Amino acid sequence: MDEAALLAALPLLAFQAVVIFARMGAAVMLLPGIGEAELPAPVRLGIGVGFVPVLLPVLGDSLPTVPDALPDIARLLLVEIGIGIWIGSLARVAMLGLSIAAQFIAGAMGLTSALVQDPALGQGGTALSRLIGLAAVVMVMTTGLHHLAIAAMAESYAVLPAGLGFPAEEVAQSIVAAGADNLGLALRLSAPFLVGAVIANVGLGLLARLAPQIQVYFVAVPGQVLAGIALLALLMPAFMGVAMPAIQASFSALPGAH
């Protein structure tokens, strides 16, 4: 391509680069590991921009040309941002089951008063939920599961070409299904702790009736916390062993994943 042809193609290439960045940048901001709130926004932005020179030569022929009307340009970019948010949100929801399970477990252990800011939940959460949420991110990054999400982002153009509209029905169905699956995962992971808490509270209630002179609350709280920590340490390998295949299955079901 000579200089004149390159100059003539620059407006189209610039527009197509913006189209790619709209989808990739939106997805990167929500992707587990890469899109964590602890990672500075300029770094996440740079990662999103980094997809542009990689994908532009591959997708150039399939990307739309510059629309004539400004509203059409805005509509196209908004659709691409929406698709990116959808893909990133599905990947993010796949990780929420662990944080929700940790919230349930913290309640069963009596640790709900130990609150920290948890960006994964969008509000204050328990210290245990933040710890397990970060552990899940580390596991995803070390096992390479994040490659599935990144590949799905790149391959999403095969099933959702740019410029063909927003699949609203499919988006709604997938988000509802992902939320239900991860709530079920949270209940499965926290079930031993919830059952143990119910049994312990029933026993303490009987003890309070049989020996009312004993200050059951002051006796029970330290034991409840220690027993919960011991059970968590014992079950953590099984905990992650159940969670990681579920996360892998969720990443494998992302739009564009093979």
Could you report the per-residue pLDDT of 85-111, keeping only the tens digit for each? 999 999 988 888 888 888 888 888 877
pLDDT at 1 over 60: no
**Greater model confidence, 145 or 208:** 145
pLDDT band for position 2 (50/70/90)?
A: low
The contacts of residue 252 (CB under 8 Å, 6+ apart) are 148
Please give the tally of structural domains in the chain: 1
Computed on alpha carbons and rounded to an integer, the radius of gyration of the chain in Å comes to 24
Percent of the chain with pLDDT over 70: 91
| pLDDT mean over 165-172 | 86
Expressed as residue numbers, the domain containing 190 is 3-252
The answer to whether residue 239 sits within a structural domain is yes
The answer to whether residue 257 sits within a structural domain is no
Which range has the worst mean pLDDT, 37-51, 201-215, 233-247? Answer: 201-215
Average pLDDT over the chain, rounded to whole?
84
The answer to whether residue 94 sits within a structural domain is yes
pLDDT at 78 over 90: yes
3-state secondary structure of 123: strand
**Greater model confidence, 3 or 21:** 21
The answer to whether residue 194 sits within a structural domain is yes
Compute the residue count for the chain: 258
The answer to whether residue 226 sits within a structural domain is yes
Amino acid letter, 220: A
pLDDT band for position 3 (50/70/90)?
A: low
CB 138 within 8 A of CB 36: no
pLDDT at 206 over 60: yes
- φ/ψ of 64, rounded to 5, equals -70, 155
The answer to whether residue 258 sits within a structural domain is no
| pLDDT mean over 202-220 | 76
- φ/ψ of 117, rounded to 5, equals -75, 120
Which range has the worst mean pLDDT, 111-120, 132-141, 178-187? Answer: 111-120
The answer to whether residue 83 sits within a structural domain is yes
pLDDT confidence of residue 83:
92
Closest listed residue to residue 91, CA positions, set 239, 243, 255, 258: 255
Q: At what angle do helices 3-28 and 70-109 cross, to 10 degrees?
A: 30
Closest listed residue to residue 24, CA positions, set 73, 81, 95: 81
pTM: 0.83
pLDDT at 118 over 70: no
Q: Which two tokens stand for residue 210?
A: 């049989």
